[in-house]
Amino acid sequence: MSALLLDTAPLRSSPEYRRLWIGLTLAGVGSQLGVTAVALQVYELTRSSFAVGLVGLVSFVPLVVLGLYGGALVDAHDRRRVIVLSSAALLVASVLIAGQAWLDVGSVVLLLGLVALQSAAFAVNSPARTAIIPMLVPVEQLPAANALGTLSMNLGVTVGPLVGGLLVGTVGFGPAYTIDVVTLLVALVTVLSLPPLPPLGGARKAGLASVLEGLRLLRGWRNVRMTFLLDICAMVLSQPRALFPAVGAVLIGGGATTAGVLASSVAVGSVLASLVSGPLGRVHRHGVAIAVSVAAWGAAIVAFGLVLLLASPSAAHTGSVTSTAVPWASWHLWAACTALAAAGAADAVSSVFRQTVLQSAAPDWARGRLQGVFIVVVAGGPRLGDLVAGADADALGEALAAVVGGVACVLAVVVLMAWQRGFLRYDARDPVP
């Protein structure tokens, strides 16, 4: 039985990794709380799923630009220093977002601008945090460390949206954003205790040439490139997050609390998958595992959309995210949560193996830049997916938007595997980028 459970060896063997993990978990809770509150505030101000999707667009642009350049910075400078400075910038952006809520400014344009600033800081911070993991744990513990990282991320995505939805529905946006500020402050303190972490093999100059070199590597490193393309299938084509405010306000009812429950359901599935991730360390065919799990994500999103098709708008639903009358007895709510939990479990498996392929197949001298690309895809993909889902929802309705997106994801996986069959033969015992 113990072989099925999460392997916590990296937490026991590396105090530095343990501190990083604690800080990352706290920051994840706060940031996901903030993401939920921003989506709800935008919907409350506009009553438009497309406007919620625009949050993804304004996050995506700085994430692409600074995600790629941030990876080059990580390869060129002490990674601890990069983490500390970018964490401080994240904290400042979150303070400003909380301020606009407490002052009741009510400006969507201002809120979107502050979200863009926050995204820029995240674009540098995240690849730095991820690139140092192979410097803190031995290579044989990388799958376990990545499973722990997935657990950390999904604890944030579980607790953050749920608490954010409850706070917005009961005491308002200001207190919700303030919790985000507090968690980021504590996370900053934890990373200050890390030792200096200069790049192995010496620093490299950060600049456009360095960024372009990292992108050129992907042309030849087909297996690493395919991990990115498969994640794009899931996160851009079938990301349901922008649909949640409207689902809570109009389709199922319950407003912000329902939106938070739906967002948390994805993470609950991921957490449960992470807790029984012990056998993943014994899986060697990582390419097959990634392809199957991404297709499973798409199928689960189709199921979510089918549930929404059976839920019709009711006059009892207020249309406001501040409604707190959650329909706990509704089978639509529980069926939607189950489908989203299945999607989250599939995403957790995909995440573990995609990270492991990148960290084991790519050399240290390129790891920061490739982690920058990874962050653009992993964090930027869902933001672009928010825009796609929001636009589809305005044109087709939230239910059909989910169904169409899930089907598109599954079909895209089939096409990619037919195009590059060699990825299905990728073996962790002989990692080839």
**pLDDT tops 80 at residue 83:** yes
What confidence score (pLDDT) does residue 413 get?
96
CATH number of the domain located at residue range(s) 2-425 in this protein: 1.20.1250.20
Burial 143-159 (b: 16+ CB within 10 A, else e): bbbbbbbbbbbbbbbbb
Structure tokens at 37: 């509150």
Tell me the per-residue pLDDT of 155-172, one tens digit each, with 9 for 90 and over: 887 788 888 888 888 888
The pLDDT of residue 321 is: 54
Confidence band (pLDDT; 50, 70, 90) for 316? very low
pLDDT of residue 372: 65
CB proximity list for 67: less than 8 A, separation 6 or greater: 123, 124, 126, 127, 372, 373, 375, 376, 379, 380
Residues 6+ apart with CB under 8 A from 85: none
Cα atoms in the Cβ-side hemisphere of radius 13 Å centred on 14: 25
- Determine the distance from the C-alpha atom of residue 186 to the mean position of all C-alpha atoms in its chain, rounded to a whole number: 21
**323 and 113 Cβ atoms separated by less than 8 Å:** no
Whole-number Å distance between alpha carbons of 277 and 153: 15
pLDDT, one tens digit per residue, over 258-301 is 888 898 898 889 888 877 777 776 777 888 899 999 999 999 99
What's the CA gap between 157 and 116, in Å, rounded?
20
- The pair of structure tokens assigned to 92 is 């400042």
Range with the poorest average pLDDT among 98-107, 187-196, 294-303, 373-382: 373-382
Q: Distance between CA atoms of 218 and 428, rounded to whole angstroms?
A: 19
Residue 42 near residue 321 (C-beta atoms within 8 A): no
Q: Residue 251 corresponds to which tokens in the numbers above? A: 């389709």
The alpha carbon of residue 428 and the mean position of all alpha carbons in its chain are separated, in whole angstroms, by: 24
Tokens 């839920």 sit on residue? 311
Query: How far are the Cα atoms of 125, 164, 207, 231 from residue 212, in angstroms, in the given order?
Result: 20, 39, 9, 21
Residue 104 per-residue DSSP state? T
Sign of CA dihedral 296, 297, 298, 299: positive
Amino acid at 184: L
Locate 235 and state its tokens: 């996160």
Average pLDDT, the chain: 82
Tens of pLDDT, residue by residue over 36-70, are 899 889 988 988 888 888 888 888 888 777 777 77
- Of 19-23, 238-242, 308-312, 372-376, minimum mean pLDDT range: 372-376
What is the token pair recorded at 279? 């056998």
Per-residue tokens: 39 = 């989506």
Residues whose CB falls within 8 Å of the CB of residue 269, separated by 6 or more in sequence, listed in order: 340, 341, 342, 343, 344, 345, 346, 347, 348
**pLDDT surpasses 70 at 315:** no
What is the pTM (predicted TM-score) of this model? 0.72
pLDDT of residue 102: 95
What is the SS3 assignment for 325?
coil
pLDDT at residue 124, as a whole number: 84
Type of residue at 165: G
Torsion of CA 172, 175, 176, 180, to 10 degrees: 160
